[in-house]
Amino acid sequence: RNSETISGTEWYSQQAHRAVNQAVGRVIRHRFDYGAIILMDSRFGDARNREGISKWVRPAIQADEGMGRAISGLAKFYREAKSDP
């Protein structure tokens, strides 16, 4: 077996991470943009899956603490982003 060959599972994982990162890139296009990306999948709680996300996004990933917290966090984020020219 070729040492450069990856398993089918790893291939699918890479494709999924690539798609997520492309979607993130459509929200944030330049340094003055702001937007929220909600990854509603518990698998992003696994370090292995967070590592597939772009490095600049990783520090902003927050654990699921319920829909109420998510909505209040989004409201706060947009209030602060709107007031920061």
Q: Taking the mean position of all CA atoms in its chain, how far away is CA 54?
A: 8
The Cα 41–Cα 64 span in angstroms is 9
Closest CA to 21 of 64, 65, 57, 73: 57
Encode the chain (85 residues) as per-residue pLDDT tens digits.
566 899 999 999 999 999 999 998 888 888 778 888 888 888 888 899 999 999 988 998 888 888 899 899 999 999 998 887 6
pTM of the full structure: 0.73
